[in-house]
Structure 1
Amino acid sequence: MPGLRVLAGPSLEALEPISPMVNTNQPLRISSDIFDGKILVNIKGFTNSHPGDVRESEYFSRQDRQGITWSIQVQGRFLKPYSANDILFGNTFDRPLNLPWGSGAALKFMTYVDPVLEHDLASQSKPWALSPLIATMPHFVHSRLNSDVLDIDSASVGLAPFPDKYTSISDDTSNLYLASVSTGSPCSSTSSLSSSSSSSSASSSSKSRISRRRKKHVNQNLATLQTASQRQAFFSSEENRRMVTFSDQDVITTDFCYGFLEFSPSLALRLPGGISFDLMRYWDGQPVRFVCCERNKDAETEGDPWGRTFWCVVIEQEE
Structure 2
Amino acid sequence: MADKYILRVTAGPKYDADSQVEVPVNKSQPIKISTDLADIELNVRIQNYAGLPRQSPETSSYFSTEPHATNNDQYSIAFRFTPKKPAGSSEEGISAADLQFGNDFDHPIRDRLPPGFNTAMNIVKWWIDPGLEGDAYADTPYLYGPALSSFNVMHVGEGTYDEQKGGLWFEEGGDEAGLEVREKIGAPATSKERMKWALRKDSKEQWMFEYGKTYGMDFFNPYLDFSNLALRLPGFQLAIMKYWDGQGLREEGPKRSHQLRYVLRNRSTGDVYLVVLFTILYKTDVNEDGSLKTGADASKVGDLPPPSTVQHDSHDETKALEEAKKQLGPSAAEQTNADDVD
TM-score, length of structure 2 as denominator length: 0.68
Aligned residues: 252
* 1:281 match: 242
> Contact between 2:159 and 2:171, CA under 8 Å: does it hold in 1?
no
Q: CA RMSD in A?
A: 2.4
* 1:18 match: 22
What is the distance in 1 between the residues matched to 2:133 and 2:66? 32
Q: Give the number of the structure with larger relative contact order, counting CA–CA contacts within 8 Å between residues 6 or more apart.
A: 1
What is the distance in 2 between the residues matched to 1:58 and 1:164? 8
* 1:146 match: none
* 1:122 match: 137
* 1:221 match: 186
What SS does structure 1 have at the residue aligned with 2:173?
coil
> Contact between 1:7 and 1:15, CA under 8 Å: does it hold in 2?
no
1:53 positional shift:
7.4
Matched, 1:258 2:221: yes
What is the distance in 2 between the residues matched to 1:69 and 1:271? 12
* 1:187 match: none
The residue type paired with residue 136 of structure 1 is S
What SS does structure 1 have at the residue aligned with 2:161?
coil
* 1:294 match: 266
1:178 positional shift:
5.9
* 1:235 match: 198
What is the distance in 2 between the residues matched to 1:26 and 1:256? 18
1:235 positional shift:
1.3
What SS does structure 1 have at the residue aligned with 2:100?
strand
What is the distance in 1 between the residues matched to 2:173 and 2:44? 21
* 1:170 match: 171
* 2:306 match: none
1:115 positional shift:
1.0
Matched, 1:32 2:44: no
Q: Relative to structure 1, is the Cα distance of residues 100 and 258 closer, same or farther in structure 2, using a 3 angstrom cutoff?
A: same
What is the distance in 2 between the residues matched to 1:282 and 1:133? 26
The residue type paired with residue 271 of structure 1 is L
What is the distance in 1 between the residues matched to 2:62 and 2:261? 22
What SS does structure 1 have at the residue aligned with 2:202?
helix
Runs of at least 5 residues in structure 1 that lack an aligned partner in the other structure? 144-158, 181-217, 298-306
Structure showing greater radius of gyration is: 1
Q: Relative to structure 1, is the Cα distance of residues 219 and 102 closer, same or farther in structure 2, using a 3 angstrom cutoff?
A: same
> Contact between 1:92 and 1:129, CA under 8 Å: does it hold in 2?
yes
What do the CA deviations read for 1:135-172 (whole angstroms, capped 9, x no partner)? 111111002xxxxxxxxxxxxxxx44335532742201
Q: How does 1:5-154 map to 2 (within 5 A)?
A: 5-13=8-16, 14-19=18-23, 21-49=24-52, 55-66=58-69, 67-80=72-85, 81-97=93-109, 98-111=112-125, 112-123=127-138, 125-143=139-157
> Contact between 1:141 and 1:172, CA under 8 Å: does it hold in 2?
yes
What SS does structure 2 have at the residue aligned with 1:165?
helix
Q: Relative to structure 1, is the Cα distance of residues 278 and 138 closer, same or farther in structure 2, using a 3 angstrom cutoff?
A: same
What is the distance in 2 between the residues matched to 1:133 and 1:175? 21
> Contact between 1:48 and 1:54, CA under 8 Å: does it hold in 2?
no
1:64 positional shift:
1.4
What is the distance in 2 between the residues matched to 1:49 and 1:313? 15
What do the CA deviations read for 1:163-190 (whole angstroms, capped 9, x no partner)? 553274220156447658xxxxxxxxxx
Runs of at least 5 residues in structure 2 that lack an aligned partner in the other structure? 86-92, 246-256, 282-295, 297-342
1:244 positional shift:
2.0
Match of 1:270 among 201, 213, 232: 232
Q: Relative to structure 1, is the Cα distance of residues 221 and 279 closer, same or farther in structure 2, using a 3 angstrom cutoff?
A: same
What is the distance in 2 between the residues matched to 1:89 and 1:312? 10
The residue type paired with residue 16 of structure 1 is Q
What SS does structure 2 have at the residue aligned with 1:101?
coil
